Amino acid sequence: MTVALLDRGEFDPLATAPRGSWSAAGVQVRRRRGPHRAHAHTLCTARFCARRSGDSLTVEHDLTPAELSDELAVLLTEQLGGILRGQADFERVFTGVVRSTIDGGLPAWVRFYRNSLAALEDGNATFAPVHRRAVGLIAGRRVVDLGSCFGFFPLRLRRDGFDVTASDLSAPTMDLLNRVSVRIQRPVQTLVCDAARVPLPDNAADTVTALHLLEHVPAAAGVGVLAEALRVARRRVVIAVPFEVQPQACYGHVRSFDIAELVRLGEQAQTFQPGVHVTVADHHGGWLVLDL
C-alpha cells in the first residue's frame, strides 16, 4: 500500500463543491443519504455503489467523518478496483469521498489529516511501520523529504522537532499541505519541484528521504532522483519502496522492486559518490540506506 496521490494539477482539492457531493473530469462522488437501495447496472459493495457510463463514473458511499483517513486507499482498491480505470479515477474518487463527507474544503481535509496522523502515529495504519522505521533512520535534525504527497511523514518529523522540508511535483498537494499544517499547528516548509531537480544547494540537509517514491517513476528517472538525493544530503539518504509482484497501477506505480534491484541501485549510488556505504534491508517493503 502507498498513500494516494492528488492529480498533477488537473483539479483543485479545495474547490467549492455542493454539500454532500464532489465532481471533477467525469467523476462524481456523492455521500449516500438513507439506506442502500439496489441499482440496475451498478457495482454495489459493502461501502460503495459505482456506475460507469462511457467516460463518466458515479460513486455513492456511506463513509463517516471518523473513517476519513489514508486507509481509504486500501478500501477503494479492495472494493472498487474492478471499476476504477487507473490512477486518475482512483485520485478523483479518493478526493471525492473526502470532500463529500464533510462540508467545506479545508475542514474536510483537516479531518482527513488528523485521522490519518493519529492512525499512523498510534501504529494502527498500514503504513505505520514504514514511518516508524524511517524516523529511526534519520541522521541529524535537518531533513528534506522527496515526493512527499500528502506530507504525513514530514508532519510526523515536525511533531518530533525536526527541521523538515516537504517536496512534491504537485502544486495543489503542496498548497494543501501548507494550509493544513498551519491549521494543525505543525507548519512545514514546502517545495514544488521534480525530485530529480530540487532547488536546494549541495549538502542542504543532514538526511534526504524518499519513501515510496521510486515506484512511481521509470527506472531512468529513478536514477536521477537517486543522484539528486545524494547531492542534497550531507550525511544520509533513506529510500523505501514496496515489494510488489506487479506494480499497483491504481496507485500510480510503474515499476516493482526486490532486494536485487535495491542492491543494483546501491551500486549505482557508489558510481555517483565513491565511498558511499550501502545498506539494503527488508522491512514492510525494501530499504536502501546510503551513508556519505
The CATH number of the domain holding residue 196 is 3.40.50.150
- Cell 451498478 identifies what position? 42
The answer to whether residue 81 sits within a structural domain is no
Q: Give the mean model confidence (pLDDT) for residues 156-173.
A: 96
The answer to whether residue 252 sits within a structural domain is yes
**pLDDT on residue 213:** 97
Q: Which domain holds residue 265?
A: 126-291
| 86 vs 212, residue with greater confidence | 212
The answer to whether residue 106 sits within a structural domain is no
The answer to whether residue 268 sits within a structural domain is yes
Instruction: Look at the chain and report how many structural domains it folds into.
Output: 1
Residue 1 has pLDDT above 80, yes or no: no
**pLDDT on residue 38:** 75
The answer to whether residue 120 sits within a structural domain is no
**pLDDT on residue 216:** 95
CB-based contact 129:211 (threshold 8 Å) = no
Record the pTM.
0.93
Q: Give the mean model confidence (pLDDT) for residues 224-235.
A: 98
The answer to whether residue 263 sits within a structural domain is yes
**pLDDT on residue 3:** 44
**pLDDT on residue 10:** 64
User: How many angstroms separate the first and last alpha carbons of the chain?
Assistant: 30
Helix residue spans in 102-238 (DSSP H) = 105-122, 128-137, 152-159, 171-183, 219-232
